[in-house]
């Protein structure tokens, strides 16, 4: 049996007050208690999707950083689950994951943190951003139940191919979790059609091939990819990988619904020990001001 921590928290958007406790028999059935609501908002152009590696440098700081990001204008928070063998992450996020894992940060901790964040903000979108292995260790069904009860709105599993996603899609939909998939410039039209068919919430468009990381210039592939995605889906499209400056952020708003900023935020955290939250707030404020 996989031991779950007792969160002792609930999503304020619920009519009832679920509590997550130890043991399989105590898991909540979210489908019986959750009201339907729209989890993601894209009124701003672009909306800001902010990624953080949870547990870097520690969970308390991550909580402060996320709350500061929300206050500064982030519309969606991607809660990065640290992983020992990342495939798509560049050196900045790799280092953050190593620091978080050194402190013992786990998927359970991330879900507990999500519940704490949800207590403070009912409107921000919360997405678990993870590789598949930590979720499989918990169990797909259990993960989806607990994530929804903690106030998570959607999930993005970076290394789960569509062809192997049937069980995940079933459990996510059973728990009203948005299923977010990655679309790359190298994706064929047939692949984009498949992504559109299984995606809910929004589609994450990778601006370029390669790994995450800050770039001086945005790839021209991003605009073309968004245009191609819109042929198959009316969902909002968020563009990520390499967005690190106010100019890049504003540029994305001309053709996409949202911009994902990850490595740049993690880099700000890494470079500003002891004043992480304030530094992230200032950085996000500069992005949002330029985007608006």
168: its two tokens: 């995940």
Q: How far apart are the C-alpha atoms of 63 and 61, rounded to whole Å?
A: 5
The angle subtended at Cα 159 by Cα 91 and Cα 7, nearest 5°, is 85
Alpha-carbon span 152 to 129, nearest angstrom: 11
Torsion of CA 29, 34, 37, 42, to 10 degrees: -50
Spatial CA neighbour of 2 closest among 98, 107, 127, 104: 107
Query: How far apart (Å, rounded) are the C-alpha atoms in residues 220 and 255?
Result: 12
153 catalytic residue (yes or no): no
* Contact status, residue 211 vs residue 183, Cβ threshold 8 Å: no
CB proximity list for 85: less than 8 A, separation 6 or greater: 131
Residue 108 bears catalytic tag: no
Peptide bond between residue 57 and the one before it cis (omega within 30 degrees of 0): yes
Q: Which residues of 58-83 are buried (b: 16+ CB within 10 A; e: fewer)?
A: ebebbbbbbbbbbebbbbbbbbbbbb
The DSSP call for residue 32 is G
From the candidates 11, 78, 214, 270, which is the catalytic residue?
78
Instruction: Tally Cβ neighbours within 10 Å of residue 161.
Output: 10
Q: Which two tokens stand for residue 203?
A: 């589609």
Q: Which of 43, 58, 71, 89 is catalytic?
A: 89
Q: Catalytic residue numbers?
A: 78, 89
């Amino acid at each position: 049996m996989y031991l779950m921590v007792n969160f002792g928290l609930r999503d304020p958007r619920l009519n009832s007050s679920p509590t997550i406790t130890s043991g399989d028999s105590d898991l909540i059935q979210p489908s019986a208690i959750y009201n339907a609501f729209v989890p993601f908002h894209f009124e701003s152009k672009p909306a800001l999707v902010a990624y953080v590696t949870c547990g870097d440098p520690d969970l308390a700081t991550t909580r402060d950083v996320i709350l500061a990001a929300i206050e500064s204008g982030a519309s969606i928070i991607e809660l990065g689950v640290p992983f020992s063998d990342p495939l798509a992450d560049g050196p900045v996020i790799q280092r953050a994951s190593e620091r978080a894992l050194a402190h013992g940060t786990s998927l359970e901790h991330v879900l507990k943190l999500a519940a704490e964040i949800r207590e403070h903000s009912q409107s921000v979108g919360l997405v678990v951003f993870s590789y598949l292995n930590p979720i499989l260790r918990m169990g797909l069904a259990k993960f989806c139940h607990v994530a929804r009860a903690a106030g998570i709105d959607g999930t993005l599993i970076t290394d789960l191919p569509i062809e192997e996603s049937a069980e995940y899609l079933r459990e996510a939909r059973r728990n009203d979790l948005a299923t977010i998939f990655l679309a790359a410039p190298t994706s064929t039209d047939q692949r984009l059609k498949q992504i559109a068919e299984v995606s809910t919430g929004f589609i994450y468009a990778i601006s370029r091939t390669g790994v995450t990381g800050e770039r001086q210039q945005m790839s021209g592939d991003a605009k073309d990819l968004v245009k191609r995605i819109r042929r198959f889906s009316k969902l909002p499209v968020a563009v990520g990988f390499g967005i690190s400056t106010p100019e890049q952020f504003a540029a994305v708003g001309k053709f996409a619904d949202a911009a994902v900023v990850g490595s740049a935020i993690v880099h700000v955290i890494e470079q500003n020990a002891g004043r992480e939250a304030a530094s992230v707030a200032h950085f996000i404020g500069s992005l949002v001001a330029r985007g608006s």
